[in-house]
Amino acid sequence: MKLFSQYHSKRMLVSGQGPVVENARVLGFENVVTVDELRMAFPVLDMVDLQRRPKSTPLPRNDFPAIEGVLLLGEPVRWETSLQLIIDVLLSNGNPGTGLATAPYPHLPVLASNMDLLWMAEAKMPRFGHGTFLLCLETIYRKVTGKELRYEGLMGKPSVLTYQYAEDLIRQQAERRGWVAPIQKLYAIGDNPMSDVYGANLFHKYLQMVKRDGAEERGAGGLWKPRPSATQSCASILVCTGVYSPKGPEATRPAQDAEEAPFHGHRDFSFSPGLMEASHIVNDVNEAIQLVFHKEGWAL
């Protein structure tokens, strides 16, 4: 998010939960409006909850500055409110109190992070993640307008940009420690085949393409050019303490049926069964670290 500096001064509607304003400012966004602030400014927009509906029709406002973009940091608490107001902003070109006869397209810029459809908590089955919220938003927008919701930036695993950024941070840490030898091999540990494994393998594929074809490394749609990389590979390590379970259907599904399996990835990433196959499968993070030590020939 810090790389998209051309949006940092724009008035952005931010969605998520927790200290979203503080989080957005840490990322560089200087002028943000929360969904709750927008709802309070235009109370007639939020009509699902009968208890929150205004008892009388408020006077229309014309002093609320137009919103210039949407920033989606994570799943909100009241999905129906956030979905409604984000769609209102997109259809009205940032002026939800007025509305437009024809929805503009392309719509206002949308930046989103965290595409996981599901995540694992204390429950026996996975819970909805921000990817599920994005799916709802995309589906509603397409149903209402007949057009696809477009993202100016889609960050988080399995985006290659996320791994480029992580690689750059690791390189900076190595430099601060005075390590001279370049880091040539990365290990990515995670519990979700669709985000963690898919993303690590996609980045490995990207590294091989750069190495083979001599292609120029790119990041953030040309907004940020990563430094030349010495990294040659990225190995994916899948742990069994989260979304993935060795007793689950994804662990026992025949290989020939992989293409018929439901695709839990984001719409903007094509389904490639091979990218969901981990380099290694271990029980937990401790075993993953031990595996890395063994692979690198380090004493435990």
Residue 218's pLDDT is 59
Residue 73's pLDDT is 97
Residue 255's pLDDT is 45
**Which amino acid belongs to residue 181?**
A
pLDDT tens readout for residues 125-155: 999 999 999 999 999 999 999 999 999 999 9
For tokens 């819970």, what's the residue? 127
Residue 256's pLDDT is 44
Residue 213's pLDDT is 78
Angstrom CA distances, 208 to 46, 211, 213, 272, 279, stand at: 49, 5, 8, 17, 15
Residue 150's pLDDT is 97
Under-70 pLDDT residues of the chain: 214-227, 248-261
Residue 113's pLDDT is 95
Residue 74's pLDDT is 96
Q: How many residues does the chain have?
A: 300
Per-residue buried b or exposed e for 124-139, using 16+ beta carbons within 10 Å of the residue's own CB: eebeebbbbbbbebbe
Structure tokens at 180: 């001279």
Give dist(CA 184, CA 207) in Å, integer: 11
**Which one, of 2, 119, 97, lies nearest residue 42 by Cα?**
97
For tokens 């409110």, what's the residue? 81
Q: What is the pTM of this model?
A: 0.82
Residue 166's pLDDT is 92
Residue 200's pLDDT is 96
228 Cβ contact partners less than 8 Å away, ≥ 6 residues apart: 217
Residue 262's pLDDT is 81
**Which one, of 186, 195, 295, 287, lies nearest residue 241 by Cα?**
287
Contact 90, 82 (CB under 8 A): no
**Which amino acid belongs to residue 114?**
N
**Which amino acid belongs to residue 72?**
L
